[in-house]
Homo-oligomer: A and B are copies of this chain.
Amino acid sequence: MSLERCFGIAGTGTYLPRGIVTASDYDRLTGLPSGQVAEKFGVTQRHRAAPDETTSWMADQAARRALSEAGWEPQSLDVIISACGVMEQPIPSTAALVQRRLGLGDSGIPAFDINATCLSFLLAFDRVLAGFALKEWRRALIVSADIASAALDFSNPEASVLFGDGAAAIALEADGPHRRLAHVFRTYGHVADLCRIEAGGTRLRPADGIDRFLAGAKFRMDGPGLFRATSRRFPGFLDDLLGAAGVASSDLHCIIPHQASRAALEHLKRSLPEGRGKTLDMFANVGNLIATSIPFTLAQARQAGRLKAGELGLIVGTSAGVSLGGAVVRW
């Protein structure tokens, strides 16, 4: 079984909401002593979406930039996949809403969602590369947009100040210079409760009592538990991913991680040779953008000229589920 796949990145786009919340704003919101949010959590600021900056609206902004950079007519897309952490609304799929915003509502272009919380993009990317390998599609658009601020509970600083709002879009083409050498994705549902929003789907409903529902609509995270669960699995996972790609960790040039938390990023940097210099870290100013983190960081890496022809990149992260996922790419 080879997971080697050929692809190109024709364009990338990002969008960050106009509104800014600073570390001192977070000190007030969480009731922590002044300076604590910056010091303890590594937060400088986050962007926060206004009511008009909806999930699909932000995704559309990012998508238009990606398509413009690619020089593609939107009508030339073969598929649109939305890969968000949380959907804009339960019905229909977020991808259908984005398709409409892109002016493609009458086009028939297939639009659907893939969801694995913070690793949604990685899985959408994997399924797109399969479609490319089978010549089903030639041009694919993956959009991610998240509004973490919709569900934050500031009485738990760790489960709130880490997260920011934003969007990213990647325009992928079947022919291109890049080679994905390996992809590994592993889910450990036994720790599913460590990271959750319980209300909003079929299980916890307003009819169950409005107070219970409102509590369930908040994001809950056991940060230390999650860090333990993922860091315990991480070394073996990384060995297997690099082994599947046939590369050594010292061969990696550029690390594009999910921006989970300062602790997770520091752990990653320590796990890899020269990890500190190779890892894109935008946690201080942008934060954990949920599913948008990885495509946002990928877009930033590309803009910064970090995807150098022939060099090796690692895309890697963890998500609610709990899942660990990553890809090794030769650019």
Contact = CB atoms under 8 A, between A and B. Distances in A.
Contacts of A154: none
A209 interface: no
Interface in A239-278: none
A173 to B, nearest CB: 15
Contact of A197 (B55, B90, B116): B90
B3 A111 contact: no
Contact of A201 (B3, B98, B123, B200): B200
Interface string A55-92: 10000000000000000000000001000011111111
Interface string A317-331: 001111100000000
Interface stretch (A29-37, A181-189, A293-301, A305-313): A181-189
A99 B116 CA distance: 13
A111 B319 CA distance: 12
Interface in A112-135: 112-117, 119-120, 123, 127, 130-131, 133-135
A298 to B, nearest CB: 19
A199 interface: yes
**Which of under 10, 10 to 19, 20 to 34, or 35 or more describes the interface residues of A?**
35 or more
Copies in the complex: 2
Per DSSP, chain A at the interface is mixed
A284 interface: no
Contacts of A88: 201-203
Interface string A124-168: 000100110111100000000011001100000000000000000
Contact of A206 (B94, B116, B189, B217): B217
A1 interface: yes
A286 interface: no
A1 B192 contact: no
A89 B189 contact: no
A319 B92 contact: yes
B117 A92 contact: yes
A107 B319 CA distance: 16
Nearest to A84: B202
Contacts of A38: none
A289 interface: no
B117 A91 contact: yes
A114 to B, nearest CB: 6
A104 interface: yes
Nearest to A135: B1
Given A112-B116, A113-B114, A203-B55, A192 B92 contact: yes
B133 A134 contact: yes
A195 interface: yes
A198 B110 CA distance: 22
Given A89-B201, A202-B146, A189 B105 contact: yes
B109 A112 contact: no
The 4 closest A-B pairs by CB, nearest first: A105-B190, A100-B189, A108-B186, A200-B200
